[in-house]
Amino acid sequence: TVSPAHSASTASTLITNIAALVTNDPSLGDNSPLGLIQDAAVVIEGDRIAWTGDQSKAPATDNRVDAGGRAVLPGFVDSHSHLVFAGDRTQEFNARMSGRPYSAGGIRTTVAATRAATDEELEANVTRYLAEALRQGTTTFETKSGYGLTTHDESRALRVAARHTDEVTYLGAHIVAPEFAEDPAAYVALVTGEMLDACAPHARWIDVFCEKGAFDGDQARAILTAGKARGLHPRIHANQLSYGPGVRLAVELDAASADHCTHLTEEDVDALANSRTVATLLPGAEFSTRAEWPDARRLLDAGATVALSTDCNPGSSFTSSVPFCIALAVRDMGMTPDEAVWSATAGGAAALRRTDIGRVTPGAYADLTLLDAPSHVHLAYRPGVPLVTGVWRRGQRVV
Ligand code: NIG
Ligand code: FE
């Protein structure tokens, strides 16, 4: 069959006069992980990248866009968010900023608001936060259930999510539902039984919050193993608030990603470095809970693959901005600007086990971000400045 990208009716577009292009393909560029090309051009055909290289060698196309000597990079891949929710937690944030600690218990506030919301309200919220993210350069995002905690509310959250992305995660095991506070084993049975049956058709991934006050290592193993048996791939909220078994469990189960990774032993770091499980760091959460930063430098130096994502949710990290997370990671987590940009693009793609996004190379989806800056380094160098001035998603200019 002829794909739309190659059908005769598909117009091609040349983006030229790119001062610095991040391809994430070392062989295309300067041999660094970012595969940087100066004075570059990109050709889009349909929803894919057709050509990438030196602008003087660019092929003829139907349309032409002048990047004006600015920087282009792959659209951000936000591989961890919780966008299906209602209400917010302003009071809890305020209390934290006057000294109260963060705990998993706050999730219950959002569960109550989410259960009470109509489908239309949930839909409107997801649409709004996605539009925010897109304006800030995010072209692929993962999102989760986890604020329903009943069979009905979890499966409805996944249906809402699936209208917006293929990267949908079943997180019935976010916390033990309030109704099961006295009988967590019965809740685990629900999450691995009837709720899983209702949710598996709408999701690609299964996730567990493995933490004190949520689920322990044995419960998390049982939940992820049940999900695997139903064709869902595991990812884990691991080692966020304290040391624990989450990271090692992620590696044991070949999870695509262990997320947060704030409290790691040497053994945890070694396990990640010797696996294909990505360490997804979520600095918005440490920012907004005033917690200590995850040590990206230590993970990178050990050889682990690191992704950077927003964790956008109303409790621990109410930001949809990947550029903000890049700036934090560079300032406070020991990452270079190059590493942070790689982690927010190719790293996010690795955390979703995808090779068709997160790079500007022929055959990949044409997901691109144009910055009002001469280099991707400005994402960290100019924190808080809305530098994203153009976004192409699946070949269409959307910003
Ligand atoms: O990733 N850690 C667990 N879940 C979310 C927070 C959820 C909430 O506080 O509402 C997180 O940080
Ligand atoms: Fe999260």
- Quick: pLDDT tens for 150-175: 999 999 999 999 999 999 999 999 99
Annotated binding site: 80, 82, 89, 147, 174, 237, 240, 311, 313, 315-316
Looking at residue 4, its pLDDT comes to 46
* Residue ranges of domains in the chain: 4-75+359-397, 77-351
Residues 125, 131, 132, 137, Cα dihedral to 10°: 140
Residue 49 alpha carbon to ligand 2 centre in Å: 31
Neighbour-count burial for 374-395, b at 16+ CB within 10 Å, e otherwise: ebbbbbbeeeeeebbebbbbbb
313 DSSP 8-state letter: B
| Residue among 84, 171, 209, 287 whose CB has most ligand 1 atoms within 8 A, to mutate | 209
Pocket of ligand 1 (CB under 6 A): 106-107, 110, 209, 237, 240, 285, 311, 313-317
CB 190 within 8 A of CB 237: no
Instruction: Using the structure block, give the residue that is written with the tokens 């790079």.
Output: 359
For ligand 1, atom 1, which residue shows the shortest CA distance? Answer: 311
For ligand 1, atom 12, which residue shows the shortest CA distance? Answer: 316
> First and final CA of the chain: distance in angstroms?
32
Q: Which CATH superfamily is domain 4-75+359-397 in?
A: Urease, subunit C, domain 1 (2.30.40.10)
Looking at residue 6, its pLDDT comes to 46
Looking at residue 378, its pLDDT comes to 98
CATH class name, domain 77-351:
alpha beta
Distance, in Å, from the CA atom of 173 to the CA atom of 328, rounded to the nearest integer, reads 29
Count of all residues that appear for the chain in the document: 399
Which one, of 132, 131, 155, lies nearest residue 145 by Cα? 155
Distance, in Å, from the CA atom of 159 to the CA atom of 103, rounded to the nearest integer, reads 28
Give pLDDT < 70 ranges for the chain.
Answer: 1-9
121 DSSP 8-state letter: H
* Angle (deg, nearest 10), helices 151-162 and 107-116: 80
- Measured in degrees and rounded to the nearest 5, phi and psi for residue 16 equal -125, 175
Looking at residue 11, its pLDDT comes to 87
Residue 224 alpha carbon to ligand 1 centre in Å: 18
Q: Does the predicted model carry a pTM greater than 0.90?
A: yes
Distance, in Å, from the CA atom of 81 to the CA atom of 9, rounded to the nearest integer, reads 37
Q: Which residues surround ligand 2, an ion (CB under 5 A)?
A: 311
* Tens-digit pLDDT profile for residues 294-346: 999 999 999 999 999 999 999 999 999 999 999 999 999 999 999 999 999 99
Using alpha carbons, list the distances in angstroms from residue 26 to 37, 41, 347.
10, 16, 14
CATH topology of 4-75+359-397 equal to that of 77-351?
A: no
Locate 256 and state its tokens: 């695509």
Distance, in Å, from the CA atom of 51 to the CA atom of 398, rounded to the nearest integer, reads 21
